[in-house]
Amino acid sequence: MFVRKVIGSLVLACSLVVSANAASDKVNWKLAMSWGSSLPPFTDAVESMAKMVHDMSGGDFVIKIDAVNKHKAAFGVMDMVKLGQYDMGHTASYYYKGKDPVLLLFTTMPFGMNAFEQYAWFYYGGGMALMEKSYEKHGMYSFPGGNTGMQMGGWFRKEIKSLDDLKGLKMRIPGFAGEIFAKLGCAVTNIAPGELYTSLERGTIDALEWVGPGMDISMGFHKIAPYYYTGWHEPATELQFLVNKAKFDKLSNKNKEILRVAMRTAAYDMMIHNFDMSATAWDKIKTEYPNIKVMTFPKPVMDAMRKANTELVAEESAKSAEFKSVVESQQAYMKKARAWTTIGEFSYIRDNQ
Amino acid sequence: MFVRKVIGSLVLACSLVVSANAASDKVNWKLAMSWGSSLPPFTDAVESMAKMVHDMSGGDFVIKIDAVNKHKAAFGVMDMVKLGQYDMGHTASYYYKGKDPVLLLFTTMPFGMNAFEQYAWFYYGGGMALMEKSYEKHGMYSFPGGNTGMQMGGWFRKEIKSLDDLKGLKMRIPGFAGEIFAKLGCAVTNIAPGELYTSLERGTIDALEWVGPGMDISMGFHKIAPYYYTGWHEPATELQFLVNKAKFDKLSNKNKEILRVAMRTAAYDMMIHNFDMSATAWDKIKTEYPNIKVMTFPKPVMDAMRKANTELVAEESAKSAEFKSVVESQQAYMKKARAWTTIGEFSYIRDNQ
């Protein structure tokens, strides 16, 4: 009896060692993304994050990725993560401004920070704490999910010479920037991505914005709209990883750190990947379509857009103290950051043309 | 006997399970860095990398960091890693150009790529493969170890109005840029960091370059040299993690990936950290010392520096096919990248002054 007890205890102890290791670390998660299964560089960032998590955990932490064709809810990612239908998501925070206007601010703002400035604000200027607070009430954590860098102002069939040229102009431009164009007299519309090329070709719309050369080139807009305007409205569009709070809190410390670091790396990488895609695509576009003209909106147009933006921000700030405090944090940070950007990165490019 | 054998086997099996887990993953490494124990943001990048590795491995992979006061060989890091005295190091590749000129190219080049462009070249433009090849013959792997972003052209006690003002100018400026200034008639010297302030104050030197506002401010140069020149010579200084090849190859796949991702993240983070430090320091300097003048070298001076750089690069390229092929890869990438930088990031800052 004594001997059998000893054997029994040893077997039990042994299996406890094995199962403790196994039980504590085996994690199977599902991620919903707002994109189709292949939309570089967005989907590459998600795949790369999941692969890093898998490899760094020795295969113990597996994240299955569902594209929009599976879950059918491109703009429902936040809700699905909140309800725990998915453990995490990859999306853009400004898609949810109807649900909570402050969320808009964690993507990008017209005339706002560029990517360097914005990452510095997130990680060293208090931005992460503000974002965490804003998402906490929705039962989730939010992390930077990849930056597009500077977005272009869009493809126009005709040159914009004055504010008058905006009156009645039919343009596809969503979000806050769309509201600005609407204030200036544009007929702002939203059109499904698959119909954009035909709409622009047939004159259903006169102009549209998409992202930048890297993601625009496959849409073909450069073949039918010769004016490519420089950016003002999305200087540093940051995507988001959203993670269900209760699910994240249940992870081991090791897996929390693996996930956190993989998301952070994938986000930075996406910024660099998109830079490379844009450099390569722009090289091709300007070689194959030498008549494309890179334009900047005339100063009176830029000034009017800036004024409209300031008014819209003031309206939202008047409605919400939380919105106001995040905007003020961003504006204060941008003021000091831009002075450094100007004497640093900007001067170098200016003097080496 | 039989019972004892069973117990013995179970104990053996049990301890094998435990020791297999332990033996495969317990790693204790030592890292030598070229810096003192506290030199933000360089040392923060190393500490943060080691902490990520520790936490993501659940404490199994520990990296002990030795500063220069311990190993006494700031510029011996590469040799110590090569010989396996240290498993890895944190240093700057251009410190080793005397050993192998091609290594210079993986840090930064005068009139070269900025940080965005250079990371895109490393990760998406073939740079990593070229760097791996150049370091393979030295028995090690090399990984980006943190970027300073744009470095400033330095602090000058007198304004540089023409090329004549460079003749006989006593300046502390190391490396390739020092050779350029020497070609233009400067008396280029190297002085230990601790003696720089006094040398500048007493006129032993007339000018010096350090890094940028974030790292310059604690040196105090702004108190005694009122002309702060914009950058040209180190537009994207990338530090390096060097890893002994045999040691890295022996790591488990899991630990390889943990180390790789931690280094990559720490490098990106350092760039953003240094941006924040510079934005904050520049804000303080220009408020407290309003007489500081931000200057750009006159065009004839910039043109002469550019010509001298081109000549030096041609000389090195004539001596080494490897140097030539890396330079050509960088220059081709920069050409297409700069066109995108110009219509993207640059135009935005220009039009929002």
pLDDT of residue B193: 85
| Contact residues, chain A, for B6 at CB < 8 Å | 7
| Contact residues, chain A, for B295 at CB < 8 Å | none
Closest-CA distance of chain B to residue A58, Å:
5
Residue of chain A whose alpha carbon sits nearest to that of B121: A276
| Contact residues, chain A, for B152 at CB < 8 Å | 343-344
Check if B26-148+236-276 and B154-233+292-319 are the same fold: yes
Please determine, for residue A38, whether its predicted confidence score (pLDDT) is greater than 70: yes
Closest-CA distance of chain A to residue B282, Å:
7
Q: What is the DSSP string of B103-159?
A: GGGGT--TT---HHHHHHHHHHSSHHHHHHHHHHTTTEEEEEEEE--SPP-EEESS-
Q: Which carries the bigger pLDDT value, residue B18 or residue A181? A: A181
User: Quick one: CA torsion of A256, A260, A262, A265, rounded to 10 degrees?
Assistant: -160
CA atoms of B299 and B305, how far apart (whole Å): 10
CATH architecture of B26-148+236-276: 3-Layer(aba) Sandwich (3.40)
Contact by Cβ (8 Å): B170, B186: yes
Contact by Cβ (8 Å): B278, B212: yes
Contact by Cβ (8 Å): A348, B149: no
CATH 3.40.190.170 fits A25-147+236-276, yes or no: yes
Please determine, for residue B26, whether its predicted confidence score (pLDDT) is greater than 80: yes
Closest-CA distance of chain A to residue B70, Å:
30
Contact by Cβ (8 Å): A186, A252: no
CB contact under 8 A, B56 and A254: yes
Angle between helices B299-319 and B321-341 (to 10 degrees): 140
pLDDT of residue B24: 57
Smallest Cα–Cα separation from B131: which of B314, B331, B323? Answer: B323
Distance of CA B91 to the CA centre of its chain: 7
Smallest Cα–Cα separation from A216: which of A293, A281, A295? Answer: A281
- Burial class, A290, CB count within 10 angstroms (exposed 0-12 / middle 13-18 / buried 19+): exposed
Distances (CA, A) of A35 to A70, A91, A108, A191: 10, 8, 19, 16
CATH no., domain A154-233+291-319: 3.40.190.10
- Phi, psi (degrees; rounded to nearest 5) at A38: -135, 100
Smallest Cα–Cα separation from B158: which of B166, B150, B149? Answer: B166
Domain limits of chain B? Answer: 26-148+236-276, 154-233+292-319
**What number is the average pLDDT over the span B31-46?**
97
CATH 3.40.50.1000 fits B154-233+292-319, yes or no: no
pLDDT of residue A22: 45
Q: What does the H/E/C string look like for A6-57?
A: HHHHHHHHHHHHHHHHHHHHCEEEEEEECCCCCCCCHHHHHHHHHHHHHHHC
| Contact residues, chain A, for B261 at CB < 8 Å | 52, 56, 261-262, 265
Query: ipTM, 2 decimals?
Result: 0.93
Q: Which carries the bigger pLDDT value, residue A10 or residue B331? A: B331
- Mutate: best of B61, B349, B350, B353, partner A, most A CBs <10 A: B349
**Collapsed DSSP state (helix, strand, coil) of residue A292:** coil
Tens digit of each residue's pLDDT (9 = 90 or more) over B146-165: 999 999 999 999 999 999 99
**What number is the average pLDDT over the span B9-24?**
45
CB contact under 8 A, A337 and B275: yes
Please determine, for residue B1, whether its predicted confidence score (pLDDT) is greater than 80: no
Smallest Cα–Cα separation from B135: which of B174, B82, B193? Answer: B82
CB contact under 8 A, A275 and B212: no
